[in-house]
Chains A and B, each alone.
Chain A
Amino acid sequence: MTAAIDYDAFREEVRDFAMMRCPPEIRAVVATYRKLSRKVWYPWQKILFEHGWGAPGWPKEHGGTGWNLKQRHIFDEVMAECDCPPQYHHGLRHLGPVIIEFGSDEQKQRFLPGILSGQDWWCQGYSEPGAGSDLASLRTAARREGDEYVVEGQKTWTSHAQESDWMYTLVRTSKEAKKQQGISLLLIKLDSPGISIRPIRTIDGWHHVNEVFLDNVRVPVANRVGEEGQGWTYGKFLLERERLGGANVAPMLKNLERTRALLAQELAAPRHALKRSTLEERLLMAEAELRGAQALGQEAIAATMEGRSLGLLPSVLKLSTSVTSQHVAEIALDAVGERLAPRFRPTDAAGANAEAPGIEWVQNYMYGRVRTIYGGSSEVQKNVIAKQLFGI
């Protein structure tokens, strides 16, 4: 038996650490909605790693913190409250746990340290042009040649591919009657010959997703995680671990507070009085919804810790928080839109996109539309909920 955990003291410890050790220039990036990149994430991950907090969600023997679910939730909450970058790296959050669960000892030794320290950066090669919500329809194929696979195909929506070292990739290793079978999980180095990466221009003006083309890319068989043909199981394991993702409402509440400050600053003039009060009221409605979601998030964490089933909670949280955070972004857009939406891209210089001060509010609104699309679209979630509610 372990001693009772003092969660308040833990929260204070995390907060002190975040405020003292997270560099102000990194916090400023988060606080102003600028796009997070490896340049921002890596130094912070290094600081966390050196403090022993590199992997809150991993078991202790692999360099994790050994925290329970509630502590991890508190950690994520405090990170958001203090404007620290969310520790949402693909390696740490997604691949690491799969390697720990299904990888060989050699793979653990080879890959986990780089993920922990932030030295190696990973991206996820799942979606394809013909396999979105219906991921199991993926067609990128790997054929075996000696102790190598030869991979041919195309991935899309690959976040951070442009700044990653590796891509963990679902590929088809055989054609079976059931499309979930015959899929394998390969770890592919992105500087391998035959790989080309092309940015996708998204509506928010940020570069975060890419198309990745694989043209006869040779991958050692040693880079296959687990059994051949079992990739779907590993992919699902990874998604199951993310089912509690929606329980952390703290970043959205933080955005809401930022938006409230924006309204006060942007609409201070008396001529904006009606607009300001209308937007403030809309924001309050959004806050009520987020607080409802926060309460459900706490229920979800309690249920998981007590080993009870989560039922429909993950779908409910995903559905409601995605829409509410879109509402918040919309309120901010309504505050600055007249001034900033017309200045989305400069055309008089070959400069970067979106450089007008405050343009991040417009970008964030545009970006926010994805929240009801990715991770199981709202329509998919509603199908899941209805099936359960109706029993058919």
Chain B
Amino acid sequence: MPFTAKPIIGGDAFEQACSIGLAADTELAQIADATEQAACLRRHWDAIAELGWITTAIPEEAGGAGGELSDLAALVGGAGRGGLPLPIVAACGVLPHLLAGHPAVVAPLAEGRFRIALIPTEAARDDEADALRFADGRLTGAVVGIETPPDPTHAVVVVEDALLLVAVDTPGVAITRYQRIDGRPSADWRFTGIGADTLARGEAVARRAAEARDLGALLTCVECVSAAGALLEQTIDYLLNRVQFGVPLATHQALRHRVAEMYVEYENLRGLVSHALRTTAAGGPEAWRDIAFAKLRLGEAGRFIAQSTIQCHGGMGMTEGLQAIRLARRIMMAEFEYGDRSVQAQRLLVAAA
């Protein structure tokens, strides 16, 4: 029996997220038109909101399901394996954490009425002069490449010590939409001295934002381990079935060894991410370090696995037609979410100094 990946956290939520992810990914792959693709993503977004995914980690007293970190891990793991091209980590994990204590925003987020993009303080910009500024109740500046749900209605912005809510239709908000390399929606945002709702101010905002970011990094790792497991399975399957010169590619030692190397990287990453998940769930003060190491490793191991998948698929590896290759692009994109390798390395080095 060829290799089958075991989820870090399995169960019903994992299975459901996986099959919805697969369905969305497959459907999307058959649509060429960008508008129709956007409509397809929007349908799936509404469906998962309807299923209550976003309520997973929202406390019961705030109208949520009151789930734990492991419930989130099951959900994003399943979505990762299926290749669901939607911002599940942000919507189900990061935003509810950041917005805890703001029921007026959390409730419509959970119901799917607010489709919120998260603009963190460290968001990328094309030009340093565009850095976000918040003064006298007015927000100015521009950020680029922000992951968004389909048809975003709002942005939650962390700027200086303020947590802001901005409606897309506020005068002075301009957005330009894109599709990321992993097929997910994204947008550039420009704010020209707009009025924004201040949800909170003070030191607690930065602390909460940092926690939310670590949660995002951790869940992204879980998602990618799951995707990497699927990549291994699909690469092995391809090599077993692709025949050239009268023999399956799986008989060649060079390719077998490459797959063995992928597996070692996968296992090492899985071990580290599972460990970080345990220490984070236990609430230890050093959990951030385990998350930083996990995200650092994801950069190395994830990219190696993604690149190897493309290489092992030969010419087919250069096409968008295979799910394995779409998953590989997802892992490549993940490097740039919630702190890339240099960000994680820097915070670890600063702490060690």
Contacts and interface: CB of A to CB of B under 8 A. Distances in A.
A390 B240 contact: yes
A319 interface: yes
A302 to B, nearest CB: 11
A297 to B, nearest CB: 8
A288 B256 contact: no
A326 to B, nearest CB: 14
Most buried by B among A287, A291, A292, A385: A292
B264 A320 contact: yes
B352 interface: yes
B259 A390 contact: yes
A312 B297 contact: no
Interface in B250-279: 250-251, 253, 256-257, 259-261, 263-264, 267-269, 271-272, 274-275
Given A386-B256, A392-B250, A285 B300 contact: yes
Interface string B225-254: 000000010001001100000000011010
Nearest to A299: B271
B291 to A, nearest CB: 11
Contact of B269 (A292, A299, A313): A292
Contacts of A388: 3
A390 B256 contact: yes
A215 interface: no
Interface in A215-229: none
Contacts, number: 98
Most buried by B among A285, A298, A319, A385: A385
- Interface SS, B side: helix
Interface string B274-304: 1100000000000000100110110010000
A80 B52 CA distance: 50
A370 interface: no
B179 to A, nearest CB: 31
A28 interface: no
A291 B275 contact: yes
Nearest to A260: B352
A256 B349 CA distance: 14
B1 to A, nearest CB: 5
Contact of B345 (A281, A298, A389): A281
Interface string A355-392: 00000000000000000000000010111011011111
B349 A281 contact: yes
B348 interface: yes
Contacts of A288: 272, 293-294, 296-297, 300
A305 interface: no
A295 B272 contact: yes
B353 to A, nearest CB: 9
Contacts of A287: 293
Given A316-B267, A383-B256, A390 B239 contact: yes
A382 B275 contact: no
A373 B46 CA distance: 55
B271 A382 contact: no
Nearest to B1: A391
A382 B256 CA distance: 8
B2 interface: yes
Interface in A269-319: 277, 280-281, 284-285, 287-289, 291-296, 298-299, 312-313, 316, 319
Contacts of B1: 391
A389 B2 contact: yes
Given A291-B272, A316-B268, A284 B263 contact: no
B264 A391 contact: no
Contact of A292 (B253, B260, B268): B268
Given A260-B352, A288-B297, A379-B257, A389 B263 contact: yes
A193 B266 CA distance: 53
A82 B165 CA distance: 53
Given A260-B352, A284-B349, A320-B264, A386 B2 contact: no
A294 B300 CA distance: 17
B297 to A, nearest CB: 4
A281 B342 CA distance: 9
Contacts of A292: 268-269, 271-272, 293, 297
Contacts of A294: 271, 275
Contacts of A312: 263, 267
A280 B1 CA distance: 43
Contacts of B260: 319, 381-383, 385-386, 389
Nearest to A324: B268
B348 A382 contact: no
B315 to A, nearest CB: 22
Most buried by B among A277, A281, A288, A294: A288
A291 B267 contact: no
A296 B352 CA distance: 24
Contacts of A298: 275
Contact of A389 (B3, B253, B272, B348): B3
Most buried by A among B239, B251, B264: B264
Contacts of B296: 284-285, 288
B264 A316 contact: yes
B264 A385 contact: yes
A289 B294 CA distance: 9
19 contacts: A284-B296, A284-B348, A284-B349, A285-B296, A285-B345, A288-B297, A292-B268, A296-B267, A316-B267, A382-B261, A383-B257, A385-B260, A385-B264, A386-B253, A386-B257, A389-B232, A390-B3, A391-B2, A392-B251
Given A291-B275, A295-B275, A383-B260, 10 more contacts: A284-B348, A288-B297, A291-B290, A292-B293, A296-B267, A382-B256, A385-B260, A389-B259, A390-B3, A390-B236
Closest 4 CB pairs of A and B: A295-B271, A386-B256, A292-B268, A292-B272
